[in-house]
Structure 1
Amino acid sequence: MDGTTADPTPEGVLLTSLTQLMAQWTSLTRQTVVAREAGLTIDAGDIRPIYTLGRVGPIRAGDLAADLRLTRPTMSKQLARLETAGLVTKSPDPDDGRASIVALSPEGEHVFALLVQRGREMVDEAMRGWDAAERGRFAALTARFVEAAIGTDADQPGAPTSDDPSA
């Protein structure tokens, strides 16, 4: 295929474009480049949990696993690695001692800030040549689309749940 969609409808073009963007920007190769460009020496796989924790704040470990669509054992291993690296802290959930609350440490907050800055630079580079009105319209419409799309995503079969407080 030549990079265009076989479905020329707006929905088909959008689906193809989003699929290409997500495949590129979420690949471990690209995440490694993002970390390096941000001046970081972290594992590319650690970017998503750091970014999510920076975005949502302290959260139960099981809820973080569900948000990232990871199994609890995978999340537990990743959090242990991040805790050893000094990027996250874990504490008992005050509402349920069997569960853990995970938060970014001060160093984790610094790493998050660097990742956000590099992400903003990537978006700015992609929108080079767009005027302020185009950027504003695109941002508003994208936010609206994502809100509508994510609202249906959590209802999909097989999505991890956070009903196990031991995570």
Structure 2
Amino acid sequence: MSDLDLADQVTRQLLALTRLVKRSEAAPDEPMCLPLLAMLAEDGPFRAGEIAAVLGVNPSTVSRQVAGLIRSGLVERRADPEDGRVSPLAVTAAGRRILDLGRRRRAAQFGDALAGWSPEARARFADLLGCFVRDLRQAGSLPAK
């Protein structure tokens, strides 16, 4: 298989996976901003401008999403002890509960999808996917976070 064919095939599969994940995140009990919430929980707190830079999106888009998460009580602004002019954003306990519910639902979905796979194949798949994402980042194709 040529590099061009490989890139086409991987791109098609990643797009299909992205659509499936987005559809699954559209559950009525979860906010549409789940990826932003997860980023804050895993790597935060962040200022809104930092989030926009990492995600490569317009700051106004992040501001709208953050405002919705704050209104929902899933994210809060915190005082920055080093610079009182900025307010880093952090996930609240309610936000962590939403993330945990989503995590458990995905685990059930993935478990169902991979039910016919051996434990070794499941582990190998997760390892290879992780290696691919890491190497793609190192090649300069994806943001670091």
Q: TM-score, normalised by structure 2?
A: 0.82
Counterpart contact for 2:46–2:89, Cα < 8 Å = yes
| 1:8-66 Cα deviation digits (max 9, x unpaired) | 9444322221122113323xx4421xx33xxx1x442x212112222223222222222
| Structure 1 gap ranges (5+) | 1-6, 156-167
CA distance in 2, matches of 1:8, 1:77: 38
Shifted more, 112-121 versus 65-74: the winner is 65-74
CA, structure 1 residues 154+141, in 2 after alignment: closer, same or farther (shift >3 Å)? closer
Counterpart contact for 1:51–1:115, Cα < 8 Å = no
Residue type at the aligned position of 2:137:
I
Q: Which has the higher strand share?
A: 1
**Does the residue aligned with 2:100 lie in a helix, a strand or coil?**
helix
Q: TM-score, normalised by structure 1?
A: 0.72
**Does the residue aligned with 1:103 lie in a helix, a strand or coil?**
strand
In the TM superposition, 1:1-167 aligns within 5 A as 9-26=5-22, 29-32=23-26, 35-36=27-28, 40=29, 42-44=30-32, 46-151=33-138, 152-154=140-142
Residue type at the aligned position of 1:153:
S
**Does the residue aligned with 2:99 lie in a helix, a strand or coil?**
helix
Identity over aligned pairs, percent:
29
| 1:41-93 Cα deviation digits (max 9, x unpaired) | x442x212112222223222222222333221221222122112111111233
What is the CA RMSD across the aligned residues, in angstroms? 2.3
Count of residues in correspondence between the two structures: 140
> Once superposed, which parts of structure 1, at least 4 consecutive aligned residues long, lie more than 6 Å away?
none
Q: CA deviation at 1:149?
A: 1.4
CA distance in 2, matches of 1:153, 1:54: 24
CA distance in 2, matches of 1:154, 1:8: 19
Shifted more, 83-92 versus 93-102: the winner is 93-102
| Structure 2 gap ranges (5+) | none
**Does the residue aligned with 1:96 lie in a helix, a strand or coil?**
coil
CA distance in 1, matches of 2:4, 2:118: 26
